Amino acid sequence: MEKKSRFLETIILIAVMILTVVRPGPVLADDQTEEAAGSSASAPEAGPLEDNLVTTKHTAVINGKELSYTAETGTMIVNTADQTCEIFYTAYTLDDTEDLSDRPITFAFNGGPGCCSMYLHIGCLGPRRLELDKDGTAVKMPTRLVDNDNSLLDMTDLVFIDAVGTGYSRPAGNSELEAFIGYDNDNRTIGDFIRQYVSRNDRWESKKYLAGESYGTIRAVGVCNYLADTYSMYLNGLMLISCANDLSTLSPNSGNELPYTMFLPTYAADAWYHKKVSEEYQKMDLEDFLDVVREFVEKEYVPALFAGNQLTKSEKNSIAEKIASYTGLSVDYVLDKNLRISLDEFSEELLHDQKLVIGSYDGRISGPVIGSGDTRVDPSDVSAELAYGSAVNDYFANELGFRTDRTYLPIDYDIMPAWKYPGDASSGFFCQEETIYKCMSANSFLKVWVLCGYYDGATPFYSAEWIYRHIFLNDEQKDNLSFTYYPCGHMIYMEKDSLIQFRKDASAWYSEN
């Protein structure tokens, strides 16, 4: 999951605008302003509600070839469960497509909950991307957009969706934000938008995919289920980047020790990267080392935590010594924490002797200690903010031609604490194993691709492995599930080498589906 401090999921693209066509429905006039502080509330509406869409023509070099494409961006009026909203989206469709049934379409969104879709939009999938260095750091400030040679637009048309309360998406008419937030409301709203877009653009015969990151993986599974149940719209694939499909694996507390075991392999990867593990492990390849850690977790660490206060002193010392050798922490520190180390504790302790803290979302990134507890600055947050924080408004206004005085919200910080899950998930135990099982078992054509970053502390790779190990698919469905790992953090596409490899892997995945 993404912490409040993280959700800087900001920005969008830049492309060479050639022709602008405004569809019927007025572009928001300059006097239709909206104060940022009041952006979560529905604004007064004047006159009938209408779509507000702008279409532009562009070219970009993708995979070494110049492609022509059309961008459509703006707000679509969506009526859902007697409520009305304006969904802001950006759609990219490849020009000169003779038969739309032969052209796949992918709907993409980020997470939060409460974040817009900018990271996947201009960080990974879209035809334009922020100019970053090899390690994912901004080349200059403010950043600029360049052609994304690793975009997936040559493989699939792309539609980036901002959930209500993020980006330019807002409640409309007399509707309030509350009607659109929460697991069920969100699935319905996004699902109804997708159904409406597909119908209006004659895409029922196209292969259809969802791509989600972080909470977006929860949304992808929920929307997949909603579309099948409500509209008999069965999808071809789910691309799940940095999975959060079972919150019990991510939220440690006195009644839930599972996350301590889920996070340990990520701690080990971070320590290996910073050359803090024991010499015998430092000499190993990362993947081989992590196999050792996985085996320890399953055969020794889980039973040790299960034993609780029945663990003998010698057994406890033995477990502490192994954890220390894998994580670079001292034996005394591990014992002091009773073998149970939180992400924040590990992030602060690993490079404590250097007066540095490592990032929660990318453990390779370190920075000076600023603040403490809930106010501590995460250096991987800062890195992303510096790269993504300045381009979105210019891109939409000057390249895509959508102008408005409405505030573009990368994240609404009030949405997450108000988010509701079905049933009693107050302890963080909401899970989707049964929903995933249902979706994959009912639709034998549905391919699920799970993508993990080794250094991701927000949604650890071992947590994703555990989740999908506990989905008891029949043999004929098991081949529809695949995992891919990258030597990066939560945002697998920030690092150039991982982005390049991701595109190669995506090409194979789409071609197999």
Domain ranges of the chain: 20-248+385-512, 264-378
Report the percent of the chain where pLDDT is more than 70.
Answer: 88
φ/ψ of residue 145, rounded to 5: -105, 145
Residue 58 pLDDT greater than 50, yes or no: yes
CA distance 250 to 273: 22
pLDDT in tens, 306-317: 999 999 999 999
pLDDT in tens, 112-150: 999 999 999 999 999 999 988 888 777 777 788 999 999
CA distance 131 to 273: 25
- The pLDDT value recorded for residue 374 is 67
pLDDT in tens, 359-381: 999 999 999 988 776 667 778 77
Q: Which of 309-313, 347-351, 408-412 has the lowest mean pLDDT?
A: 408-412
- The pLDDT value recorded for residue 426 is 53
- The pLDDT value recorded for residue 508 is 97
Place of tokens 């929660």: 360
Average pLDDT over residues 170-182: 97
- The pLDDT value recorded for residue 385 is 63
Report the percent of the chain where pLDDT is more than 90.
Answer: 78
- The pLDDT value recorded for residue 380 is 77
Average pLDDT over residues 289-311: 97
* DSSP-based three-state secondary structure for 430: coil
Residue 106 pLDDT greater than 70, yes or no: yes
Q: Which amino acid, 77?
A: I
Q: Which helix (H) or strand (E) holds 282?
A: helix 279-282
Place of tokens 């957009």: 145
Residue 8 pLDDT greater than 60, yes or no: no
322-326, long-range: CB within 8 Å, 24+ apart, which pairs?
Answer: 322/296, 323/264, 325/277, 325/278, 325/281, 326/264, 326/267, 326/268, 326/271, 326/277, 326/278, 326/281, 326/292, 326/293, 326/296
* DSSP-based three-state secondary structure for 82: coil
Q: What is the mean pLDDT of the chain?
A: 89
φ/ψ of residue 201, rounded to 5: -110, 15
Confidence of residue 389 (pLDDT cuts 50, 70, 90): low
- The pLDDT value recorded for residue 371 is 79
CATH number belonging to domain 20-248+385-512? 3.40.50.1820
Residue 99 pLDDT greater than 80, yes or no: yes
Confidence of residue 383 (pLDDT cuts 50, 70, 90): low
Confidence of residue 209 (pLDDT cuts 50, 70, 90): very high
Residue 6 pLDDT greater than 90, yes or no: no
Which tokens hold the place of 332? Answer: 């005394």
pLDDT in tens, 34-53: 433 333 434 444 568 999 99
pLDDT in tens, 211-230: 999 999 999 999 999 999 99
CA distance 360 to 434: 29
Average pLDDT over residues 424-432: 71
- The pLDDT value recorded for residue 11 is 30
Confidence of residue 457 (pLDDT cuts 50, 70, 90): very high
- The pLDDT value recorded for residue 427 is 53
Average pLDDT over residues 454-483: 97
The answer to whether 290 and 307 have CB atoms below 8 angstroms apart is no
Average pLDDT over residues 155-168: 97
Residue 242 pLDDT greater than 60, yes or no: yes
